[in-house]
Amino acid sequence: MQRKLKPNNIIYVFFAMLFSLIFLYPVYFTVISSLKNNNEIWNTMFALPKEINLDNYRSAINDIGILRSVLNSFIFSFGATIIVVITVTMGSYVISRKLLKACGFLRLYYLLGLMIPAYGMLIPIVKMFTAFGLQDHYLPMIILYAGINFPMSFYLIVGHINGLSREIDEAAYIDGCSTTGIVFRVIFPIARPGIFTGAIITFLAVYNELIFANTLLQQKSMQTISVTLLGLKGERFTSWGPMFASIVLSIVPIMVIYLIFQERIEGGIAAGAVKG
Amino acid sequence: MVKKRNAVGFLMAMAVVLSLFSGCSGNNSGAGGSSQASAGGQNQAGNEKVAVRILTRYSNPDNVREKYFIDRVAKFKSENPDIDLQDISVSDENSRDTKFKTSVASGNPIEVFNFLGYAANIDYVKNGVVADLDPLFKEDPEWTENYKKSLFSPVDYSAYGIEGIYGIPTTPYGVCTFYNKAIFDKLGIQIPETWEQIEAAAPKLIEKGITPMAFGAKDNYRGGHFLTALSMKVYGDDLKDKLISGEEKWNGKNTVSLISYMKKLYDEGVFGKNNLAYTADGELAKLESGEAAICFSGSWNIATINGFSNAKDIVCKGFPYFEAHQENKDMWMGGPDDFLAISSKPGDADYDATVKVLKYFSSQDYWQGLYEVQKGSGTYPVSFGEVIPADTLTNGFNEYYNSAANVIGEIEQYDKMAALMDVVRTNMQTIFSGSKAQEIGDVIQGEVDNYLAGNK
Amino acid sequence: MVGNKNFRSKMESVLLSLPAFLIYSFIIIYPMVSVFYMSFFKWNGIPSSSMEFTGLRNYIAFFMDNRFYTALRNIGIFILSGFLLILPVAFFLATVIQSKLRGKRFLRTSYFFPQVISRTAIALMWYFLLYPEGGPVASLFHMIGLNTVDVNFLGSKIWAIYAITVINAWTYAGFNMLIFSAGLTSIPEEIYEAAVVDGVNPLQKLVYITVPMMKSSFQLFVINCVIGSITTFEMVYATTGGGPGSASEVFGTLLYKNAFTYNNYGYSNAIGSFLIIASFGATLILNFIFSKRDRD
């Protein structure tokens, strides 16, 4: 069509490739460095490793315990995602179908959260958590993350449910289905795309969250990827290899998920960007 | 139908979880340690383990001293199945602060922790976060009989009208200097012990591509240590006293002249380049590789340096002094700045267990073990019956340190303004990114003035 | 009978709304109210020491603090970098993934994936990439003959904040690419075809057709960029922590530092309140401007 490649478009293609290189190079660099020993990292920085050396990975797994952190990140992400999806969908359905008098208020009340940066509330949240010894427990942390990601998911999911035809759930109601039944048996399946968007945004946000995890998770066995990697920054930068290996090990799982669900994740994030 | 039951089950679960939270709005203010403790007591009645958390900065298994601590934690756990000892130590200073402070803010402070003492931390003593150990010391005199008594002064707040002793010293330190003697021998230069000599030797080293003195300013404490150590060699502890009393300002002539001197050294290339890109560990790496000839550091690194491939080339001396200020040659920065303290009080359910942990990690046996592991090198808060012949670095250090006429901690530690240390350190850092000495002094004094205005 | 069923279904609706309401109220609203309340007190973080009511003193001190203005300037730089760096790059990338280029699926993946990496991992990777002694970027600078440039970017009072904005752009370009890409898809092909018939050159096409047709994408970008910049925290915290000195401080790092390093919890909450109000205000103002524009 009209956007065909012309000779002067070589520059265009060049830049398209250049940017690809700029985005990929740091990760390529991390991967090759993770296979080198300290000496090679500094002295033959740009060369491929002479031999595949997995010592760094051993150290990342045994000394740094990165796999445990990856597991924790997954636990928090899955937990928060499930809670967000279920609570938001239930709440959104009630609001969307105006089943209660307070629905108009609730809608605004929830949307207010879109404009509030969670970090602004760091101190009271820390205070609330510590006052009840909730730090270093999975469930409270998961609920915290669910709360932080609630407004965004609500915005996406309520919008999606609003767009669904009421005929289906009215038919189910006439068939004798309770409201709860409608939510779980009718709305969940047909609102899947909207719910997935909310889920994926929550999942990614929690997986990579740093500040709350860093203040509320104290035990090493509870720490997430971000916190563990942050611990590597700072005072003992003498052994770079295990650090690079840890980064690679933390990226691989999320990369796999991303590649499997690529289109839905990108679609979801683009839809989520409509925030504001 | 199955799905529906799941949903109802989930709702119930949510209700239980949320009822946990709903307790917090009414119960938030001032619920101090006592309610926490009684909760702990109930647990104990159920024959559960008593949980005791310990927070230190020892978490790096590559470091001899930290590895020893980690091993002792494991040993304690196996010997005391009734105590659930949770080691939440972290070597990064900021992370340690965050952990400690969030626990304090919660009203449930960490049971055993490294306390930093001095006036800067008086708030924790005044408000009962840190327990008085004096009754325990009196009860069990053997425990501390080999401790060097002078080391307790930073946790003695009687000058502020607070009786008691609020910590037990861990490893004391002295800020000293390590030299790569091989480099100086090769160039035929005497090891420079004064700043005048260092400035004279610097061009020759720089010409050979060697950094005269490594300075890993990415760790902001480096600048703080340097300033205090330098002030001792010029003014003795006079400047410290005057800064704390307010008689001298941080942007006053004397302080600024110290900062200017530091900047002058930097401008002359004594500290090399890119100082904000590497840390204290980087300094040691440069000393080992021969990229740098001198490294001002501290006695805590002796064990690490003994592990160098070229350990025999390294020589330890005091922090460089000034020929112009011979009288202050033996003025040191050092002392104890790390104490083990507890937050539990008699009557708390976890008190006995906490004291047991505290004693375990400050016993003569603990230090004896470390003494043997480190083969007599380094410094200790206690004296030993049988002296292990130490390595040359330790001997070199002790030779200088034992002749110290006066030893002080970092100047900011003596100030009640808790933020001062971070303010001074982060601003000293900016020497390496082009700040002028007067600017740095002005910014620090500005912060001090703000603090004073807010605390009238 | 009917009334009973009605009551039952009302109760069901209440129960369905309850978990959402409670989670949101306890995690977002209660702390928000608490932030405002505590911002009027002076408190050192020790429960047994009293909270002293100081009125607006925390706010006044904050607005008089030099670091407030440093943070303000840095956030301005963040916003500017959004317009000067992220916008053109993201727009260009969007045209690439909307083009007929072969291998664009690979390109699309490579552009987007920094988005899924932890910010801490990104900070560590870039710390090494920007390492002044022999690091890749420094080597690149030497290769193209810029030997004289001070390449210690993250350790420089002047350059640190710019280095962070570049890392930030590297991270978020792919995200914004998707926004523009969605906008590009919404432009009907026929308009371009008509333009080609009228002999419009590519630049005119961009200025007179593409950009106006994508107004909502640009509005979205502006809102995201401004709010994202005001509330930026993790990226700075993980790279420089606000240093050297306080050169790269933003509101988030100031909040964190004042609480956990300086024990000024009240002051820290005043920063939190300011952050909430600023983010709230900016959203409302931008939405107001855009909706007014749309009506005009």
**∠ at Cα B406 (B405, B409), nearest 5°?**
150
Calpha distance A148→B6 (Å, rounded): 25
Q: Retrieve residue B204's tokens.
A: 């020759």
Reduced to 3 states (helix: H, G, I; strand: E, B; else coil), residue B338 is coil
DSSP B50-69: EEEEEE-S---TTSHHHHHH
List pLDDT tens digits, range B316-361: 999 999 999 999 999 999 988 889 999 998 888 899 999 999 999 9
SS (H, E, C) B342-384: ECCCCCCCCHHHHHHHHHHCCCHHHHHHHHHHCCCCCCCCECC
What pLDDT is stored for residue C3 in this prediction?
A: 56
For CA atoms B424, B429, B431, B436, give the dihedral sign. Answer: negative
Instruction: Give the mean model confidence (pLDDT) for residues C8-31.
Output: 91
Tell me whether B60 touches chain A (CB under 8 Å).
yes
CB contact under 8 A, C48 and B432: no
Residue B302's CATH number: 3.40.190.10
Shortest distance between the Cα of B397 and any Cα of chain C, in A, equals: 32
List pLDDT tens digits, range C223-265: 889 999 998 999 999 888 887 888 999 999 999 988 888 888 8
Instruction: Give the mean model confidence (pLDDT) for residues B251-273.
Output: 94
CB contact under 8 A, A95 and C233: no
Higher pLDDT: B62 or B194? It is B194
Tell me whether B446 touches chain C (CB under 8 Å).
yes
Query: What percent of chain B is predicted at pLDDT more than 90?
Result: 52
**Gyration radius from chain B CA atoms:** 25
Reduced to 3 states (helix: H, G, I; strand: E, B; else coil), residue C149 is coil
Considering the domain architecture, whether residues B225 and B288 belong to the same structural domain is answered as yes
Question: How would residue A236 be classed by pLDDT, with cut points 50, 70 and 90?
Answer: very low
A231 contacts in chain B (CB < 8 Å): 90, 92, 95
Considering the domain architecture, whether residues B56 and B178 belong to the same structural domain is answered as no
Calpha distance B394→A217 (Å, rounded): 39
- The answer to whether residues C214 and C187 touch, using CB atoms and an 8 Å cutoff, is yes
What pLDDT is stored for residue C4 in this prediction?
A: 66
List pLDDT tens digits, range B129-165: 999 999 999 999 999 999 988 889 899 999 889 999 9
CB contact under 8 A, B279 and A235: yes
**Position C214 pLDDT exceeds 50:** yes
In a domain, B224, yes or no: yes
User: How many contacts (CB atoms, under 8 Å) link A and B?
Assistant: 91
Considering the domain architecture, whether residues B404 and B290 belong to the same structural domain is answered as yes
List pLDDT tens digits, range B6-65: 444 444 444 444 443 333 333 333 333 333 333 333 444 445 788 899 999 887 777 788
Please provide the average confidence, as pLDDT, over all residues in chain B: 85
CB contact under 8 A, B105 and C243: no
- The answer to whether residues B302 and B393 touch, using CB atoms and an 8 Å cutoff, is yes
Can you state the angle between helices C160-185 and C66-81, rounded to 10 degrees? 40
Q: Choose the mutation target among C117, C201, C223, C254 for the interface with A, i.e. most A CBs under 10 Å.
A: C117
Question: How would residue C83 be classed by pLDDT, with cut points 50, 70 and 90?
Answer: very high
C182 contacts in chain A (CB < 8 Å): 270
Question: How would residue B301 be classed by pLDDT, with cut points 50, 70 and 90?
Answer: confident
What pLDDT is stored for residue C162 in this prediction?
A: 94
Instruction: Give the mean model confidence (pLDDT) for residues A226-249.
Output: 77
Considering the domain architecture, whether residues B231 and B291 belong to the same structural domain is answered as yes
Instruction: Give the mean model confidence (pLDDT) for residues B218-233.
Output: 93
What letter represents residue A211's amino acid?
I
Tell me whether C53 touches chain B (CB under 8 Å).
no
Considering the domain architecture, whether residues B182 and B293 belong to the same structural domain is answered as yes
Helices marked H in chain C — which ranges?
Answer: 2-24, 30-38, 57-64, 66-81, 87-98, 104-112, 119-129, 136-143, 160-185, 189-197, 202-204, 211-213, 215-230, 234-239, 251-260, 265-295
Cα A71 to Cα A222, A225, A262, C120: the distances in Å are: 9, 9, 22, 17
C154 contacts in chain B (CB < 8 Å): 276-277
Counting other chains too, the contacts that C186-191 makes at CB distance below 8 Å and 24 or more residues apart are C186/C213, C186/C214, C187/C213, C187/C214, C189/A1
User: How many contacts (CB atoms, under 8 Å) link B and C?
Assistant: 124
- The answer to whether residues C43 and C265 touch, using CB atoms and an 8 Å cutoff, is yes
- Strands B173-180, B50-55: parallel, antiparallel or unpaired by DSSP? unpaired
Predicted TM-score (pTM) of the model is 0.83
- Non-local (6+) Cβ contacts of A260 within 8 A are none
Considering the domain architecture, whether residues B162 and B77 belong to the same structural domain is answered as yes
- Strands B406-408, B339-342: parallel, antiparallel or unpaired by DSSP? unpaired
Considering the domain architecture, whether residues B350 and B429 belong to the same structural domain is answered as no
**Position C145 pLDDT exceeds 80:** no
In a domain, B12, yes or no: no
List b or e across C97-126, with b for residues whose CB sees 16 or more CB atoms inside 10 angstroms: bbbebeeeeebbbbbbbbbbbbbbbbbbbb
Phi–psi pair at B389, nearest 5 degrees: -60, 120
Considering the domain architecture, whether residues B209 and B230 belong to the same structural domain is answered as yes
What pLDDT is stored for residue B353 in this prediction?
A: 94
Nearest CA in chain C to A227: C120
Q: Retrieve residue A77's tokens.
A: 């992400």
Instruction: Please check whether the domain covering C51-295 is classified as CATH 1.10.3720.10.
Output: yes
Reduced to 3 states (helix: H, G, I; strand: E, B; else coil), residue C188 is coil
What pLDDT is stored for residue C219 in this prediction?
A: 87
Instruction: Give the mean model confidence (pLDDT) for residues C133-148.
Output: 78
- The answer to whether residues B319 and B332 touch, using CB atoms and an 8 Å cutoff, is yes
Instruction: Give the mean model confidence (pLDDT) for residues B270-289.
Output: 87
Q: Closest partner residue to B419 among C30, C57, C261, by Cβ? A: C261
Considering the domain architecture, whether residues B178 and B159 belong to the same structural domain is answered as no
Considering the domain architecture, whether residues B289 and B343 belong to the same structural domain is answered as no
Please state the domain count of chain B. Answer: 2
C245 contacts in chain B (CB < 8 Å): 426-427, 429-430, 433, 435, 443
Considering the domain architecture, whether residues B313 and B167 belong to the same structural domain is answered as no
What letter represents residue C231's amino acid?
T
Reduced to 3 states (helix: H, G, I; strand: E, B; else coil), residue B318 is strand
Count CA within 13 A, CB hemisphere, residue B365: 8
Q: Retrieve residue C3's tokens.
A: 């009334």
- The answer to whether residues B100 and B113 touch, using CB atoms and an 8 Å cutoff, is yes
**Gyration radius from chain A CA atoms:** 23
What pLDDT is stored for residue C59 in this prediction?
A: 94
CB contact under 8 A, A121 and C231: no
CB contact under 8 A, C123 and A233: yes
**Position B79 pLDDT exceeds 60:** yes
DSSP C97-143: HHS--TTHHHHHHHHHGGGGS-HHHHHHHHHHHT-TTT-HHHHHHHH
Can you state the angle between helices C160-185 and C104-112, rounded to 10 degrees? 140
What letter represents residue C242's amino acid?
G
Please provide the average confidence, as pLDDT, over all residues in chain C: 87
Q: Of the given ranges (A107-111, B241-245, C96-100), which has the lowest mean pLDDT?
A: C96-100
CB contact under 8 A, B279 and A234: yes
Cα B6 to Cα A94, A180, A205: the distances in Å are: 19, 11, 27
Q: Name all chains with 3 or more CB-CB pairs below 8 Å to chain B.
A: A, C
What pLDDT is stored for residue C186 in this prediction?
A: 80
B31 contacts in chain C (CB < 8 Å): 47
Tell me whether A87 touches chain B (CB under 8 Å).
yes
- The answer to whether residues C91 and C180 touch, using CB atoms and an 8 Å cutoff, is yes
**Position A245 pLDDT exceeds 50:** yes
Domain with B194 in it: 173-335+400-454
Q: How far does CA A266 lie from the centroid of its chain? A: 13
- The answer to whether residues C48 and B127 touch, using CB atoms and an 8 Å cutoff, is yes
Shortest distance between the Cα of C57 and any Cα of chain B, in A, equals: 8
CB contact under 8 A, C189 and A20: no
What pLDDT is stored for residue A100 in this prediction?
A: 87
Nearest CA in chain B to C152: B274
A118 contacts in chain C (CB < 8 Å): 28
Domains of chain A: 66-272 (1.10.3720.10)
**Position A77 pLDDT exceeds 60:** yes
What pLDDT is stored for residue B396 in this prediction?
A: 87
In a domain, B448, yes or no: yes
Considering the domain architecture, whether residues B259 and B405 belong to the same structural domain is answered as yes
DSSP B35-103: HHHHHHHHHHHTTPPEEEEEE-S---TTSHHHHHHHHHHHHHHHH-TTEEEEE---SSHHHHHHHHHHH
